[in-house]
Chain A
Amino acid sequence: MSTLDIILQQLANGLILGSFYALVALGYTMVYGIIKLLNFAHGDLYMAGGFLGFLVLSLVGALLGTGWTGILAAMLLSMLAVGLLGVIIQRIAYVPMLEAPRLSILITALAVSMILSNGVMAITDGEYLAFNTDLGFEGIDLGNVFISYTQLVLVISAALLMIILYLFVHKTLYGKAMRAIAIDQDACRLMGINVNRIIALTFFIGSSLAAAAGVMAGVYYGSLHFSMGFVIGLKAFTAAVIGGIGSIPGAMLGGLVLGLLEAFGTQMPFVGSEWKDVFSFGLLILLLIFKPTGLLGKTEIERM
């Protein structure tokens, strides 16, 4: 393979990895932007999304087949269910903690994450589940570079979801309320915005985007495991910080940047794929030292 081929192939790999990161990072950044909570359970919602998608696909598979129609149905239902799960988690675990010290709510989020991942582990006996689809392996062959149709469809659907989100946040009244709450909650209350409902909506959207990414990852990698949410949760957080936490376009950009950096990082001499995670966590630490506001974030002035 020539250098150009390697670059193209890694570009394709990086883009797909980056779209997963971006989708998960969006939920992180939206929740953080609105109530300043690091939702540790977010990666596990991605995992739960993958498993629910699998469940739905095996139920509707007989009716719709396990091609794109079935997958679409599975994805939408999984997004709905995980979105509701996100709202339930917020109601049970986070709402009572909003006035408590920061440490308490972080530990609560960690507990929720443990319950989700270990709950799924108990249900699946810790086994890998094969996510079978009949999408086939056709694709576009560019000499030495091969891009499957599956990859193409996944990247495009991720992009579509992000465009819809962007339009929702910037063109609708609900989106406007979300942006307003991120700036000043009390003023929003005075203006007659139902703050609690908008926060719940934010959790719903963030969680369902993570679920979409989970189903897509299931389709792409062909298997599911209860621990798959842990590393991607960390990576998506890294992506959110790269883009500037709290910023929605930042999360999209950060996800793509991290995906590409990882894909190309594994090609560097002495940096094999086993060092991939060290590479991106190291990047996170360096970034927090030198540019904690990220690429698109605003400098935050802490009010007393």
Chain B
Amino acid sequence: MAAPRIPVFRLSRMQRTLLLAALAAIGLLIPLAANNYVLEVLTNAWFYAILCLGLNIVVGYAGLLDLGYAAFFAVGAYTTGILSSQYGINFWLTIPVAVACSMLAGLIIGGPTLRLRSDYLAIVTLGFGEIVRIIARNLDITGGASGLIGIDRPSILGLELSKGIHFYYVFLLLAMLACFVSFRLQHSRLGRAWHYVREDEDAAEAMGIDRVAVKLQAYVIGAMFGGVAGCFFAAKMTAISPETFTFAQSVLILLGVVMGGMGKIPGVIVGAFALVLFPEVFRSMGSMRMLIFGIVMLGIMLYRPEGIWPQRSGTGER
């Protein structure tokens, strides 16, 4: 069924730069006017924006369904958690280790399965997500079902990051970095290869694109985003438990990507904000949240498969 066309706002390069600058200024200045509650919610929204941007590389750019994205987030969080709370290693030094571990996890899962049909990947990632959570729950080093506590707070130039406002800026900067990396990737040679593979795998391969390698790159880069987000999540919470990394968490991140419009950076950020703000605004619905999200997801797929803010395709700059 044809979705009604939404008006497309076309801005000149100058206007777009101004708009971006204005949004960045709002993002930077808002903590001055916000109370702790608003700040916490916004921090959370930026955090989900990072995760959604990471998953967007896999789902939106490369067109692969990953149902276990929380696993990479878990790998990052647990690597930092274990190294910091049990071995007392400085937070900043745990990041490269966590990135390496999450990329390795991406390679292990993606490597063999990306050769198969893409639906197999969906179910394997689902299984993998569960495996990671169950392992975290049953090992001693991960603190079992109660998880890890006493993860060190990081400090920059002698300033210990401990207040809500510190983490607001940390996640805002990370989200901006994630946007920048996503943008550069989207318009790179690799980004165009992803687009091609997503639209027509066979034709892409005929044009000399190694589809397995290209998909694997998407998968591993997506895993890296999740890993980094996990590190900072662990540092912010100072405690992590396996129940943060459930299947529902993976679905939530996917929903953010789908809701805003797969493959489009502003869309994904809008999706992430919707994900976090919606339950805050409608607190009363509580346990019905996932049910409503399910209905929203179905509605979007049926009536507006490109998301709330779809990617402009066909005409335009390309």
* Majority DSSP secondary structure for residues of B touching A: helix
| Residues 266-294 of chain A, each 1 if its beta carbon lies under 8 Å from chain B, else 0 | 00000000110110011011001100100
**A267 CA to B33 CA in the complex, in Å?**
60
**A102 CA to B199 CA in the complex, in Å?**
11
Q: Is the CB of A285 within 8 A of B124?
A: yes
Q: Which of A36, A278, A284 contacts B124 (CB 8 A)?
A: A284
| Residues 81-111 of chain A, each 1 if its beta carbon lies under 8 Å from chain B, else 0 | 0000000000001001100111110111011
Tell me, rounded to whole Å, the shortest Cβ–Cβ distance linking A233 to chain B. Answer: 9
B35 interface hit (Cβ, 8 Å):
no
Q: Which of A97, A231, A238, A288 contacts B301 (CB 8 A)?
A: A97
CB-CB nearest in chain A for B122: A106
A139 interface hit (Cβ, 8 Å):
no
CB-CB nearest in chain B for A106: B65
Q: Which of A36, A38, A289 contacts B112 (CB 8 A)?
A: A289
**A113 CA to B67 CA in the complex, in Å?**
13
**A231 CA to B247 CA in the complex, in Å?**
11
B196 interface hit (Cβ, 8 Å):
no
Contact size range, B: 35 or more
B254 interface hit (Cβ, 8 Å):
yes
Q: Which A residues lie within 8 Å of B207 (CB)?
A: none
Q: Is the CB of A103 within 8 A of B65?
A: yes
Q: Is the CB of A278 within 8 A of B113?
A: no
A304 with B202: in contact, given A96-B1, A275-B134, A281-B130 (CB under 8 Å)?
Answer: yes
Tell me, rounded to whole Å, the shortest Cβ–Cβ distance linking A69 to chain B. Answer: 35
**A230 CA to B129 CA in the complex, in Å?**
13
A277 with B130: in contact, given A103-B59, A103-B65, A106-B65 (CB under 8 Å)?
Answer: yes
Q: Is the CB of B119 within 8 A of A234?
A: no
Q: Is the CB of B294 within 8 A of A274?
A: no
B60-109 residues with Cβ-Cβ distance < 8 A to A are: 63-65, 67, 109
Q: Which A residues lie within 8 Å of B59 (CB)?
A: 103
A115 with B295: in contact, given A278-B135, A281-B128, A288-B112 (CB under 8 Å)?
Answer: yes
**A198 CA to B276 CA in the complex, in Å?**
43
CB-CB nearest in chain A for B206: A304
Q: Is the CB of A103 within 8 A of B251?
A: no
A115 with B135: in contact, given A38-B119, A110-B67 (CB under 8 Å)?
Answer: no
**A263 CA to B187 CA in the complex, in Å?**
51
Between A110, A119, A122, A281, the greatest number of chain B beta carbons within 10 A of the residue's beta carbon is seen for A110
Tell me, rounded to whole Å, the shortest Cβ–Cβ distance linking A99 to chain B. Answer: 11
Q: Is the CB of A38 within 8 A of B287?
A: no
Q: Is the CB of B134 within 8 A of A278?
A: yes
B118 interface hit (Cβ, 8 Å):
yes
CB-CB nearest in chain A for B289: A118
Q: Which B residues lie within 8 Å of A38 (CB)?
A: 119, 122-123
Q: Which A residues lie within 8 Å of B116 (CB)?
A: 288, 292
Q: Which A residues lie within 8 Å of B202 (CB)?
A: 304
A237 interface hit (Cβ, 8 Å):
yes
A234 with B127: in contact, given A102-B119, A106-B65 (CB under 8 Å)?
Answer: yes
Q: Is the CB of A275 within 8 A of B138?
A: yes
The 10 closest A-B pairs by CB, nearest first: A114-B294, A281-B127, A118-B291, A111-B297, A111-B298, A289-B112, A115-B294, A118-B290, A108-B301, A38-B119
Known: A101-B63, A118-B288, A234-B127. 4 other contacts (CB 8 A): A103-B118, A103-B262, A104-B301, A288-B124
